[in-house]
Amino acid sequence: MEVAVSSILVTGANGFIGRSVCRTLAANNHDVTALVRRAGTSAGAQCEWSHGGADFAGLGEAWPRELIPDCVVHLAARVHVMNDTAADPLAAFRATNVEGTLRVAHAARERGARRMVFVSSVKAAAEFDGGAPLSESMPAAPDDAYGISKLQAEEALWQYGERSGLEIVIVRPPLVYGPEVGANFLQMMNALWRRLPLPLGAVDARRSLVYVGNLADALMHCATDPRAANGCFYVRDDQDLSVAGLLRVLGRHLDRPARLLAVPPSLLRAAGALTGRGAQLDRLTKSLRVDDSHIRETLRWSAPYTLDDGLAATAHWYRSTHGI
């Protein structure tokens, strides 16, 4: 039931996810325009538009006359960081993730866009799953400024869509990984490569992940399938692993068997509380799973890559770029 989409604008196109989205769209014969802050930093798009306005200020006035997108995939955001130094983190997140997102929606609609796919986050719903995978019908209860801003952006977009007729599609990915990944996932591979002992052997809490190639494919379907209109979707790989299980699989693909110590999760959390790393240890020792049945049933979508495929590709990238 997909329809041909002649033009898709991707914001944040020079980021880890954005580059994969542009390549996937172009490979499937969509015309892709990359919106970036600095020229020459995108990959895979046929056209690039550079706009340096903070939080998309002045976007409508600067919009190229010839750019008439059918859909905008909005990835650009102020992302979650540990130990945020902003004086008012929530205000900083709102400026980009709420006000900036609405500027993109308004400017796109004014130039003829019919749909906007907003890449939100599982953190807009919760930090942990409370014993059952999160579904779209569950009440959202974000726990930090980043998650609150993402939920507020979702709510603002729903309201704008009702007023303007712009179709809104929300996608809430869990942790995204793949070649070129950074942050905690890269640190985890660094530890495996260096054969460091890791005190996570007794952690059996499971967490959903999504390979960047699977997320890009899901976003393409959300941009092009009529059935996605005004829907909210979780997306994930084909299985959820415990942190210990993830380390074992990654270690196998890196040819660096994980050295896991079976430290009770309660002791890990206590150590985290004493060292000021409680939030980080909670994320390692508590489960966060999502239910992706809605996107699979509504769009008949299935992930083109297995979790093992994704981890193998990520490990291959790491060995070729970091494994010295």
Active-site residues, by number, are: 146
Cβ partners under 8 Å of residue 106, min gap 6: 60, 160, 164
Tokens representing 216 are 């890009």
* Distance (Å) of CA 221 to CA 154, 167, 177, 298: 19, 14, 20, 11
- Using left for φ > 0, alpha for ψ between -120 and 50, and beta otherwise, residue 245 falls in alpha
In the numeric block, which tokens belong to residue 45? 């798009």
Closest Cα to residue 241, out of 274, 214, 206? 206
DSSP designation for 134 = B
Q: Is 112 exposed, middle or buried (0-12, 13-18, 19+ CB in 10 A)?
A: exposed
| Residue 46 β-bridge partners | none
